[in-house]
Amino acid sequence: SSWRFTFYLIAFIAGMAVIVDKPWFYDLREVWKGYPIQSMLPSQYWYYMIELSFYWSLLFSIASDVKRKDFKEQIIHHVATIILISFSWFANYIRAGTLIMALHDSSDYLLESAKMFNYAGWRNTCNNIFIVFAAVFIITRLVILPFWIMHCTVFYPLDLYPAFFGYYFFNFMMVVLQSLHIFWAYLIIRMAQKFITGKVVEDERSDREETDNSEEEEEAAKNGPLSNGHPVLNNNHRKTD
């Protein structure tokens, strides 16, 4: 969680630095101005290469991570993301790609931060950060992405050139990605409700049979010990043989 938090935070700051001064950040019709002949800046090149490398690393490392309920969805998400980044690179959808990547990074570092405080036993801090994360996730993934970004990729190009295979393929992959966002938003809202009501929260993605906690650890999670005045949450999930 610590290294992912570091990456997502740096990637979000770097992504904003890459696009905040660009005209298509403020006017989405500028995304397609001059397409398909659009210049690419070195900052955009490195932003793409670093993001693509990171998601390849996640795809390889997920096999050795704890398998949760959304394991298959995570695989689909990583594959879809890699395909989208790669295809947008080859089709010169660079401007749309930078917007989409920055939008995703805007909430991911908050989730990893909440996880770190959860593992440290700082329950109140974790809860507060998670609520902020849930709000940012819903706004960016369920509002801005479908109603601004996907509207830009679906409707605006048709004003400039006829639809071709790449147009359909790119937007189909965007629909796949958006479907996963809806699934995760459902899990996030369930967890947020538990945070607000003060219930002890476990990761909604975790199956009971996929953990191997001792009775002592379970008792500690329910009744103590205390760390910084809050119960230590039991998050030491381990794979079973």
pLDDT (mean) for 61-84: 80
Per-residue model confidence as pLDDT tens digits over 177-201: 899 899 989 989 888 887 777 665 5
pLDDT score of 237:
45
Task: Please choose, from the candidates 132, 140, 126, 141, the residue with its C-alpha nearest in 3D space to the C-alpha of residue 203.
Answer: 126
pLDDT score of 219:
42
Give 85's contacts (C-beta < 8 A, 6+ positions apart). Answer: 48, 51, 52, 55, 97, 101
Per-residue model confidence as pLDDT tens digits over 77-111: 888 889 989 999 998 999 999 999 999 999 999 99
pLDDT (mean) for 150-158: 92
Whole-number Å distance between alpha carbons of 86 and 92 = 10
Range of lowest pLDDT (144-148, 157-161, 191-195): 191-195
Q: Name the average pLDDT for the chain.
A: 81
pLDDT score of 203:
54
**pTM for the predicted model, two decimal places:** 0.75
29 and 164 Cβ atoms separated by less than 8 Å: no
pLDDT score of 72:
79
pLDDT score of 82:
92
pLDDT score of 95:
93
* Single-letter amino acid, residue 167: Y
Residue 23 is given by DSSP the state G
Give 44's contacts (C-beta < 8 A, 6+ positions apart). Answer: 18, 94, 98
Whole-number Å distance between alpha carbons of 9 and 111 = 11
Take residue 120 and report the two structure tokens written for it: 């440290």
Q: Where are the alpha helices (DSSP H) in the chain?
A: 2-19, 42-61, 71-90, 94-120, 123-139, 150-154, 165-197, 215-223
240 and 209 Cβ atoms separated by less than 8 Å: yes
pLDDT at 216 over 70: no
pLDDT (mean) for 159-184: 89
In order, the DSSP letters of 200-214 are ----TT--GGG----
